[in-house]
Amino acid sequence: MALQIVEFDRIALIPLSLTSPCSCRSHTHSRFRPTVTNLTSRPIFHEFRFKLGLNSNDARGVLSTSRGVLVKRHHRRGITSLARAEQPEQIENVEVINEVNRSTQLSEEDFDSERRQKANQLKKRIIFGLGIGIFVGGVVLAGGWVFTVALAASVFVGAREYFELVRSRGIASGMTPPPRYLSRTCSVICFLMPLLTLYFGHIDVSVTSAAFVVAMALLLQRGNPRFAQLSSTMFGLFYCGYLPCFWVKLRCGLAAPALNTRVGASWPLLLGGQMQWTVGLVATLISFSSIIAADTYAFIGGKAFGRTPLTAISPKKTWEGALAGLGGCIATSVFLAKILSWPSSVLSAVAFGFLNFFGSLFGDLIESMIKRDAGVKDSGSLIPGHGGILDRVDSYIFTGALAYSFVKTFLPLYGV
């Protein structure tokens, strides 16, 4: 008796139908032949070893695995015919299976590539976010012309991004954008607004004069002036120029000393001493920190619990994320108020955090609406992993005006 053993490392389990007669010429009396019954479903592959034993004396063959007998045939040539897959349709089926395997491998490679790309994007976002946070913190502590010039530079870049969005194909297809020379002029005017606010202490006359000059330039231009040009330009002056000026009024205008601030008592004289810690500085630090906390908690809460969409303007925002952002914003405001001893009332700190959250959320939605109509994902590509300047400061645009109005109007003696 001669027993032959053949080992294989991989086998594809294919559904078989044993109802049609075999077409092997040497065994026409056999009643069975394997046929593939389902090619639309994905083949199931299992990694195991099996042995094919052929007994040449009694002409019997057994195909066995660790899970039991798969095929048992009484004719050696019948098993050989099954292994060789001489039927044309079986050859085509094997080719289809191989093609499916190749496409599956390609899809897995694409998935791995996308996952690595997202990881790199997140890494860039964290690194540049920390760098921006440290830089902004130093600028806020410095105050004065350092803070104002840095804000004016951001305003200039943001204004350029805004007017590029207005001129984009998505928005320009439904309205006439302002001329390019006027867009650049408005960007320069927006840059000058924070500087004039610090120098004169107010911005009303400057904004009125700038609006009059821009309106006259639009009316006297060649061709047919359109109202869409006027409206988009005036909103640009308001959105990119006038509103950010309230941060200058908050940080530099409210110069009353925060007398109860414990940090100021130990602040070195080289950096300004205790007089450096004014109501404007403390209010700006709390407001900035509250906005960062609102964005962070809203992102984490939306990822973990987000189910209900907040608005169609930004489909990724959810009510669950918004509530998490609100809680984080108020908690940060109260925590910093305890550390910095401003404002003196816990209720005022809660109201301040509440106001900061809604200002940041409203500013974020306004910028999302502009980008949606423009048909772009980011306002620019200046900051790796973050997009443009407007993508980073959209939460701060309206918040400065709300924070300044709250501190100046509703807090007696600026909350000291």
Amino acid 107: pLDDT: 65
The DSSP bridge partners found for residue 73 are: 61
Amino acid 247: pLDDT: 96
HSE, CB side, 13 Å, CA atoms: give it for residue 381: 2
Q: Which of 44-48, 136-140, 356-360 has the lowest mean pLDDT?
A: 44-48
Quickly list DSSP for 192-214: HHHHHHHHHS--HHHHHHHHHHH
- Across the range 51-79, mean pLDDT stands at 43
Amino acid 41: pLDDT: 42
The set of residues, in sequence order, having a beta carbon less than 8 Å from that of 70 and lying 6+ positions away, is: 50, 63, 64
Q: What is the phi-psi region of residue 257: left when phi exceeds 0, alpha when psi lies from -120 to 50, beta otherwise?
A: beta
Amino acid 265: pLDDT: 72
Provide the mean pLDDT of the chain: 78
Residue type, 13: L
Amino acid 398: pLDDT: 95
pTM > 0.85: yes or no: no
Amino acid 57: pLDDT: 45
Amino acid 167: pLDDT: 87
Q: Give yes or no for a contact between 274 and 267, defined as CB atoms under 8 angstroms apart.
A: yes
Considering 36-40, 59-63, 317-321, 374-378, the range whose residues carry the highest mean pLDDT is 317-321
The set of residues, in sequence order, having a beta carbon less than 8 Å from that of 281 and lying 6+ positions away, is: 140, 141, 143, 251, 258
d(CA 294, CA 288): 10
Indicate if the pLDDT at residue 5 is higher than 50: no
Cα angle, residue 183 at apex, residues 181 and 189 outer, rounded to 5°: 105
The total of other beta-carbon atoms located within 10 Å of residue 113's CB is 10
HSE, CB side, 13 Å, CA atoms: give it for residue 190: 30
The set of residues, in sequence order, having a beta carbon less than 8 Å from that of 410 and lying 6+ positions away, is: 351
φ/ψ (deg, to 5) at 7: -105, 140
Indicate if the pLDDT at residue 349 is higher than 70: yes
Q: Which residue has the higher pLDDT, 18 or 382?
A: 382
What does each C-alpha distance from 403 to 170, 349, 357 come to in angstroms?
34, 12, 11
Amino acid 44: pLDDT: 41
Indicate if the pLDDT at residue 363 is higher than 90: yes
Amino acid 104: pLDDT: 65
d(CA 115, CA 152): 38
Residue type, 119: A
Amino acid 268: pLDDT: 78
Residue with tokens 């207005």: 166
Considering 4-18, 145-159, 222-236, 302-316, the range whose residues carry the highest mean pLDDT is 145-159
Amino acid 108: pLDDT: 66
Amino acid 18: pLDDT: 39
Quickly list DSSP for 13-47: E--B---SPP--GGGTT------B--SSSPPEEEE
Amino acid 385: pLDDT: 63
Dihedral over Cα of 268, 274, 275, 280: its sign = positive
The total of other beta-carbon atoms located within 10 Å of residue 259's CB is 13
Q: Which of 25-39, 317-331, 358-372 has the lowest mean pLDDT?
A: 25-39
Q: Which residue has the higher pLDDT, 358 or 261?
A: 358
Q: Which residue has the higher pLDDT, 60 or 220?
A: 220
107-159 per-position pLDDT tens digit: 666 667 777 777 777 777 788 778 888 999 999 999 999 999 999 999 999 99
Dihedral over Cα of 312, 313, 316, 321: its sign = negative
Q: What percent of the chain has pLDDT over 70?
A: 72
Amino acid 224: pLDDT: 81
Q: Which of 49-58, 113-122, 180-189, 260-269 has the lowest mean pLDDT?
A: 49-58
